[in-house]
Structure 1
Amino acid sequence: MRQFENPEDAQTLALALVEAIPEPFVILDDKFCVVAANDPFYDTFQVDPTRAHGITLYDLDKPQWDIPDLHRFLETVVSQHTQISGIEVERDVPGLGRRVMLMSARKVDYARTTNSNTLLAFQDITERRRAEAEKQALLEHTEALLAQQRVLFQEMQHRVANSLQIIANILTLKARGVALEETRQHLEDARQRVMSVATVQSHLHLTDGIDQIEMSGYLEKLCAGLAASMIINSRPVRIDVIADEGLVPSQNAISLGLIVTELVINAIKYAFPGPRPNARIFVSYEISDMNWKLTVSDNGVGRAAVSEPAKPGSGLGSIIVGALSKQLEAHVDISSTVAGMSVVITRGTFTSRIFNAA
C-alpha cells in the first residue's frame, strides 16, 4: 500500500472517502467524540456540523443518541477490538420520526500511537422493515381468510350432503307408496341420481384443496365409498382404481366424480345380475398435459356386440354422462361384448398407457 510522505495528504484522502460514502458515516475517537462525519450523517440526523466536532456521540442531540443499546454496541467494539455489523437500533429522528437504523462499526488501531478511532456507519432500513411488517400482516390476513374459506366450504359440503340425503329418503318413501311399477322405477332412478351427487359431495370435503382437487386420492376414496354402500356380500364385486396424480379444478373434479359414480353404480346394478366369480369393475384416469382419459369398464355380462361403435343411449344415466362429458369438452366411446362393457371418456388425443384388465 502506498505510504503518504505528507500526513496532510492521508488526512485529505480519508476525509474524501468519508464524504463519498452515501450512507450516514461518522468517525469517533477513543472517547466516542466526533472527529469527522459526512453530509448524509449531518442531514439525516439534523446535526449542526459546526457544533459536532469534539462532542461525544451521546451528547450530539441529547437524549436522542443516549441509547443503552448504542452504548453496549460501541463498548463491545472497543473492548474486543472487533468489527460488528447488522445491529438494529430504533431512535427518533427530528423531522423523520421513529426510524430503524442498521449500524456497523469497526475499531481502527495505529502502529505508532495508542490512540484509536471507531468507524460507525448507519443504514436506514425503516421502510424495509415497514414493508416486511405489512407483508407479514397481509400474509397472516390471507391465511386467516383461507382458513375461514375452508371452514365455510366444509360447512357447505356438510349441509349439501345432509340435504341430499333427506331428498333421497323422501324419494325412497314415495317409491314405496306408489302402485305403478313405472312410476316406482322413475322415483328409484331419481333417488340414484341424488345419491350420486351425495356421494361425490361427501368425498370432496376429504380433499385438502378447495380450488384444486388431487384426482388420484379423490377417485380412490370415491370408489371405496361406492363399494361400501352399493356392494352386498352375496354378490361381491371388486372395484380397482389406477389414476395418475394431478390437480384438477374442483368444478371439473365434481363432473368427473359424477361420471364415475354414475358408471360404477350402473355397472354394479346391471353388469352382474347374478353371482359371478371374480366380478370386477376397473376405473382408470390418465393425464397428459391438458388432455386426459377416463375409463370405467367391467367384466360383466355386457351386451351383444354391434357392427358400429356404440353411442350413449337415451337412458337418464347416459344422458347425464353425455352432458357432463360435453361440458368437459370430452367425447364418449362405449364398447360392449358378452365379456363386459367399457366406457371411455377422452379429452383431446390420447394414447392410453394403462392396460385394461377388467
Structure 2
Amino acid sequence: MMDFANIDDARKLAQAIVNTIHDPLLVLDGNFFVLAASRSFYHTFKADPELTRGRLLFSLGDGQWDIPALRLLLETIIPTHAAMDGLEVEHDFPLIGRRTMLLNARQVIYDNEMSATILLAFTDVTARRTTQRDRDKLLERSEELLRQKEILLQEMQHRVANSLQIIASILLLKARIVTSEETRRDLQDAHQRLMSVAEVQRHLHVTHGIDQIDVGPYLSKLCASLCTSMTGSAQPIEISVICEDARISSDHAVSLGLIVTELTINAIKYAFPNFKADANVLISYEVDENDWKLVVSDNGIGKNEGPVAEAGGGLGTAIIQALVKQLGAQIELTSNRAGTIISITRATFVSRVPKAA
C-alpha cells in the first residue's frame, strides 16, 4: 500500500485520477457538496472551478442543477441501493441548452462508516437520442408510406379484377349471339385467356415487401385453381408443382403465371383426348443464383417434337413466345408417346427435377 506524506498528496492523486475520466465526473460528500470535479465536467457544462468546488451540487449555476430526477437519485436511490446505472435525465442547462444525460452513481463508504463519498458520472447521449428519434420518425413515415402503397395496390387489384370480369362477361355474351362458328370459337378463346389473366392477378399476393412474390405458393394456388376449373370427373388430371424456395418481382411473376396458365390449359385440353387413369401435369421451377428453369410436362399423347419456335401454333404459342422473350429466356419443346415437356430456361441450367411419368 502506498504511503502519502500528507493529505494534500492524496488529494492531488485523487484529482489526477478524476481528471483522467473521459465523461464528466463529480465527487460529492455525504451532504452532496462537491469535493472534486473532472476537467470534462468543467468543459462540458462550462462551469467555473472556483464556483463549483465546495459548493452544494443543487445550488451550482444559480440552481440549474436542482433537477428533480437528480435529487431522487442522490437522496432516495443511492442511500438504499448504493449504486445506480443509466438513469436518463433530460434537462435544459442555461449555458449548453437541452441535453439528455445518463447518470451513473456509486456510494463509497469508508472503514469508519462515519463518512461516505458519492461518485457521480454523466454520459451525454443527446446526439444518440436525437438520431434515434429521427430514425424512429423515418421508420414510422416509411411504414405509413408502405401502408398507403399497400392500400393503393389492393385498390388497383380490385379495380383490375372488376374490369377483367366485365370484359370477360361481354366476350361470353358476344360468343352466345354470334352466328359464325369460327367467330364464336375466337371469342371463347379470348374469354378463356382473359380469365387466365384474371386468375394470375387473383393469385398475385405480395409477401416480402411491395414487389417480392414467393414463387412456390403463388404457382401452387394458381395451378390448384386451374385444376378445379378445367378438369372434370370424366378425365381427372393431377396437377402438381415442385418449386424451390425463391422470390421474384411482381412483373416477373405475372409473366411466369401467364406462361404456366397457358401451357397448363393446353395440356389439359389436348394431352388427354382419351381417358388415362394416371393423367398428370407437372410444373417445376428451379433457381441457380440469377438463372432459373421452368418446366411444364405431361404424360399425355405427345405431339411433333422440335423447338416451339418451329412448331407453329396459334395465338397461345405467340403469347408464350412473347412472354419468354420478355423474360430473356429460351423455350424448347420435346415430345413423344410418353408425353410432352416444355422447358423455359434463363441461361444454361441443368435440371434436377424428374419429369412427369
Same fold (TM over 0.5): yes
CA distance in 2, matches of 1:340, 1:357: 8
SS at match of 1:66: coil
Q: Does 1:328 align with 2:327?
A: yes
What amino acid is the match of 1:165?
Answer: Q
- Cα drift, residue 12 of structure 1: 1.2
* 1:250 counterpart residue number: 250
Q: Does 1:339 align with 2:343?
A: no
Matching of residues 107-256 of structure 1 within 5 Å: 107-111=107-111, 114-205=114-205, 207=207, 209-256=209-256
* 1:82 counterpart residue number: 82
What amino acid is the match of 1:239?
Answer: I
CA distance in 1, matches of 2:4, 2:83: 26
CA contact (8 A) 1:157 1:201 kept: yes
CA distance in 1, matches of 2:311, 2:6: 101
CA distance in 1, matches of 2:329, 2:104: 65
Q: Does 1:51 align with 2:51?
A: yes
Judging changes above 3 Å, is the alpha-carbon distance between structure 1 residues 25 and 209 closer, same or farther for their aligned structure 2 residues? closer
- Cα drift, residue 48 of structure 1: 3.1
What amino acid is the match of 1:335?
Answer: T
CA contact (8 A) 1:157 1:205 kept: no
Q: Does 1:39 align with 2:72?
A: no
User: Deviations along 1:305-334, whole A, 9 cap, x unmatched?
Assistant: 44x555452411111111111111111111
CA contact (8 A) 2:280 2:298 kept: yes
- Cα drift, residue 225 of structure 1: 1.0
User: Deviations along 1:231-250, whole A, 9 cap, x unmatched?
Assistant: 22233211111111111111
User: Deviations along 1:39-71, whole A, 9 cap, x unmatched?
Assistant: 332343343322223221111134422222212
* 1:357 counterpart residue number: 356
SS at match of 1:204: coil
CA distance in 1, matches of 2:12, 2:206: 74
CA distance in 2, matches of 1:124, 1:207: 42
CA distance in 2, matches of 1:301, 1:209: 43
What amino acid is the match of 1:28?
Answer: L
User: Deviations along 1:8-38, whole A, 9 cap, x unmatched?
Assistant: 2221121122223232221111110111213
User: Deviations along 1:276-316, whole A, 9 cap, x unmatched?
Assistant: 3222111111111111111111122222x44x555452411
Structure 1, unmatched stretches of 5+, are none
What amino acid is the match of 1:316?
Answer: L
- Cα drift, residue 149 of structure 1: 1.4
My pick for the range that moved more, 203-212 or 159-168, is 203-212
* Number of corresponding residues: 356
* 2:100 counterpart residue number: 100
Runs of 4 or more consecutive aligned structure 1 residues displaced over 4 Å after TM superposition: 206-209
- Cα drift, residue 208 of structure 1: 5.5
What amino acid is the match of 1:336?
Answer: S
CA distance in 2, matches of 1:81, 1:184: 89
What amino acid is the match of 1:296?
Answer: V
CA distance in 2, matches of 1:327, 1:2: 84
- Cα drift, residue 78 of structure 1: 4.6
CA distance in 2, matches of 1:280, 1:208: 32
- Cα drift, residue 93 of structure 1: 0.6
CA distance in 1, matches of 2:214, 2:150: 16
CA distance in 2, matches of 1:196, 1:77: 71
CA distance in 2, matches of 1:76, 1:67: 14
What amino acid is the match of 1:127?
Answer: A
How well do the aligned residues superpose, as a CA RMSD in angstroms? 2.0
SS at match of 1:60: helix
Judging changes above 3 Å, is the alpha-carbon distance between structure 1 residues 67 and 206 closer, same or farther for their aligned structure 2 residues? closer
What amino acid is the match of 2:349?
Answer: F
SS at match of 1:184: helix
CA distance in 2, matches of 1:68, 1:269: 82
Structure 2, unmatched stretches of 5+, are none
- Cα drift, residue 207 of structure 1: 4.6
